[in-house]
A and B are shown apart, each in its own frame.
Chain A
Amino acid sequence: MANSQLALDSVFHALADPTRRAVVQRLGKGTATVSELAAPFDMALPSFVKHISVLERSRLIVSRKQGRVRTCSLIRENLLEAERWFELLRSQWISRYGNLDTLLAKLNGDENDV
């Protein structure tokens, strides 16, 4: 789990910023060049490139340079890994509340018996 924890930490940091979240969302639809990704934002390119670097370090995205064009793509497995943690928590709540349904049915039944 040690590796996973490291990833989770950096993924949280990466997704804590609205610009970076938007970039991840955009890359969910397919690969894009850095200039395509930067276009919707009113931001100097060097600042935008820093966001791209943070995303790369978190291993949520990967980029490749061809000539003067840098193309980014999402690493879906790593995004899913982050999602898996939350899915586990969700499972715990479903199970816990299933127990409570059973208990309430029992308590309501006892009440009706009186």
Chain B
Amino acid sequence: MTSDLRFDFTADKAARTITVVREFDGARQLVWDCHTKRELLDQWFAPRPLTTQTKHMDFRAGGYWHYAMITPDGQKYWNRLDYKTVDPIDGYTAQDGFCDESGIVNPDMPGSLWDVGFADVGARTLVTTMVRYASPEALQAAVDMGLKDGLASTLQRLDELLPTLVAA
């Protein structure tokens, strides 16, 4: 049903930045709500087979989202997204960090900076997410979670990626 939706994923290894551009079959207000309301975020944010559980959400500049991504065997990975700027329904910026259940951010584990933009494409919405990792360790931690949850099995076509690797 969604095969014609635009999807671009680019990684700038030198800058430790990934940019994800994705079109969604929904009005901008609705797509914005899905990114900013706890009851909606809990229904989609964690990649499968993880689930999302919000502990605290205050979506405004200076507020934060404190949530867990939960593995099928019940292990919780706590994250915290501190909102820096909020510009409804055009975009927001935020600082992502690893934290514990009480929301205390681990200072030894630098996270990433998020810059998320929303734009109309006809009746659809284009979402552009730029994530800049503070360090190779932060990037590693983000990837490790995927490794633990079996996403590695989805790897394919690695050889095709080689020619694009150093395009920067």
Contacts and interface: CB of A to CB of B under 8 A. Distances in A.
B136 interface: yes
A15 B14 CA distance: 6
Contacts of A94: 7, 9
B140 A8 contact: yes
B48 A99 contact: yes
A8 B25 contact: no
A101 B24 contact: yes
Contact of B47 (A24, A76, A95): A95
B136 A9 contact: yes
Contacts of B5: 101
A36 to B, nearest CB: 18
Main secondary structure of the interface of A (DSSP, over half): helix
Interface residues of A, number: 45
Interface in B119-140: 136-137, 139-140
Contact of A88 (B43, B143, B162): B143
Interface string B9-31: 10101101010101011100011
A25 interface: yes
Contact of B136 (A12, A18, A105): A12
Contact of B13 (A12, A87, A97): A12
B165 interface: yes
Contact of B166 (A9, A21, A86, A87): A21
A47 interface: no
A86 B11 contact: yes
Interface in A7-47: 8-9, 11-12, 15-18, 21-22, 24-25, 28
The residue among B5, B161, B162, B166 with the most chain A CB atoms within 10 A of its own CB is B166
Interface in B71-127: none
Interface of B: 1-2, 5, 7, 9, 11, 13-14, 16, 18, 20, 22, 24-26, 30-31, 34, 40, 43-48, 136-137, 139-140, 142-144, 146-147, 151-152, 154-155, 158-159, 161-163, 165-168
Q: What are the 5 closest A-B residue pairs judged by CB atoms, nearest first?
A: A95-B47, A99-B44, A104-B26, A86-B11, A92-B47
Interface of A: 1, 4-5, 8-9, 11-12, 15-18, 21-22, 24-25, 28, 76, 79-80, 82-105, 107-108
